[in-house]
Chain A
């Protein structure tokens, strides 16, 4: 651990600080904030600190410090390599444990008594998209790109993506995004109601900070009551998602899909 205090933390995958009533959680794990065991451990540290952080904050901003994007999703390379070194049953238990842990973190952020904003740019794929979906608002720079490519691996999104998309969007849109696995840009994301603001390249964090200042003008208890009223956490569907993911993970197609992805030199490796 590089440094830990309630107000400020600098880790290898992420950092946070509180300033002016706003918690800023920055992702900075090369190459594009892939979510593996290191990121999960530090996200759990963040979730553990959140109770204290919330006492002096009204908003939380999640963003990436890396040029390629917000987050490319789960660390598939790590997942593949670990699954190669384990018995099948052990690998399956490891995946379920990882999912249970990351769901606990994401549910905690989802339910936080703060107004939460994902400020995204570039690649916002898979688990990265799911991380953004946890937030109350998504502010995207016009180069942001979203995608649920999991079906290419014989899987569904595993970090709460489908239940949270269903919470926010119409079922037809969810089916389109999920079943085609196509990526789409920030303008499209705003058109379908996913993104609240589209800003110029490199301006998402600035816009998120301005929004956080505006949010700070409202009575906090009222904002919390409004959020709890309008943003239920779909716990039952989130549980079901873990079960479906784990069932699919045991299928041979997944190992083949992971291997193909890890070894791919294709320009669009996220496509089947």
Chain B
């Protein structure tokens, strides 16, 4: 079982690598749409990356309204 902090760290690392932004520029409570500069199609890319990485299913409706990495990590953690 991964810890919540480890899950959060892995999300930040994965998002930084996929969208080619410096890992250090991302912080847990930041709005990831703004931080990553992503549109709706790229949001789906991020969702798929996370599902593949953590081997979980994340129904879109559970993520509606989620905008920061920390809450996203909590949603994933609940399915690990």
Please report A residues at the B interface, Cβ cutoff 8 Å: 31-32, 68-69, 72, 122-123, 142-145, 147, 180, 182-185, 187-188, 266-271
Contact = CB atoms under 8 A, between A and B. Distances in A.
B33 A267 contact: yes
Interface of B: 33, 38-41, 43-45, 47-49, 51-52, 57, 59-61, 63-64
Contacts of A271: 60-61, 64
B64 A268 contact: yes
Contacts of A180: 59, 61
B48 A143 contact: yes
Contacts of A122: 41, 44-45
17 contacts: A31-B41, A32-B41, A143-B48, A143-B49, A145-B44, A180-B61, A183-B44, A185-B51, A185-B52, A188-B57, A266-B40, A267-B33, A267-B43, A268-B43, A268-B64, A271-B60, A271-B64
A267 B39 contact: yes
Contacts of B63: 268
Contacts of A183: 44, 47, 60
A268 B41 CA distance: 8
A188 B48 CA distance: 11
Best-buried of A69, A72, A266, A267 by chain B (most CB within 10 Å): A267
Nearest to B52: A142
Contacts of B48: 142-145, 185
Nearest to A269: B40
Contacts of A31: 41
B59 A69 contact: no
A141 B40 CA distance: 19
B57 A184 contact: yes
Contacts of B40: 266-270
Nearest to A182: B59
A145 B59 contact: no
A148 B17 CA distance: 30
B61 A145 contact: no
A68 B41 contact: yes
A100 B4 CA distance: 52
A32 B40 CA distance: 12
Contacts of B57: 184-185, 188
A143 B63 CA distance: 18
Nearest to A264: B40
Given A143-B45, A267-B38, 7 more contacts: A32-B41, A69-B41, A183-B47, A185-B52, A270-B40, A270-B60, A271-B60
